[in-house]
A = this chain, B = another copy of it.
Amino acid sequence: MKNISIIGIGLIGSSIARSIKSIFPELNIEIIDHSKNHLEKSKELNLGNEYKLSIDNNISKSDVVFVCAPLSSYEEIFDNIQKHLANDKTIITDVGSSKLQIIELAQKKLKNKKFVPGHPIAGTEHSGPQSGFKDLFLNKWFISTPCDLCSEKELNVINDLWKNMGAKIEIMDAKNHDSIMAITSHIPHLIAYNIVGTANDLGESIKSEVIKFSASGFRDFTRIASSDPTMWRDIMLSNKDEILSLLNKFNDDLKGLIEAIKSGDGDYLFERFKKTKNIRQKILEEDKNKS
Contacts and interface: CB of A to CB of B under 8 A. Distances in A.
Contact of A249 (B143, B187, B198, B272): B198
A96 to B, nearest CB: 15
Contact of A225 (B192, B234, B276): B276
Interface residues of A, number: 90
Contacts of A212: 141, 170, 286
Contacts of A185: 215-218
A266 interface: yes
A164 interface: no
B283 A222 contact: yes
A218 B229 CA distance: 18
A88 interface: no
A109 to B, nearest CB: 19
B179 A206 contact: yes
A152 interface: no
B220 A278 contact: no
Contacts of A257: 190, 193-194, 236
Interface string A241-278: 00110110111011001100110101001101111111
Q: Which 5 A-B pairs have the closest CB atoms?
A: A188-B217, A229-B273, A226-B280, A196-B276, A184-B218
A125 B187 CA distance: 22
Given A213-B141, A229-B273, A269-B237, A200 B258 contact: no
Contacts of A107: none
Interface in A194-232: 194-202, 206-207, 209-226, 229-230, 232
B224 A216 contact: yes
Interface hub of A198, A210, A273 (most chain B Cβ within 10 A): A273
Nearest to A212: B286
A234 B223 CA distance: 27
A71 to B, nearest CB: 11
Given A195-B191, A236-B261, A276 B213 contact: no
Contacts of A124: 216
A93 B199 CA distance: 30
Contact of A188 (B176, B209, B221, B230): B221
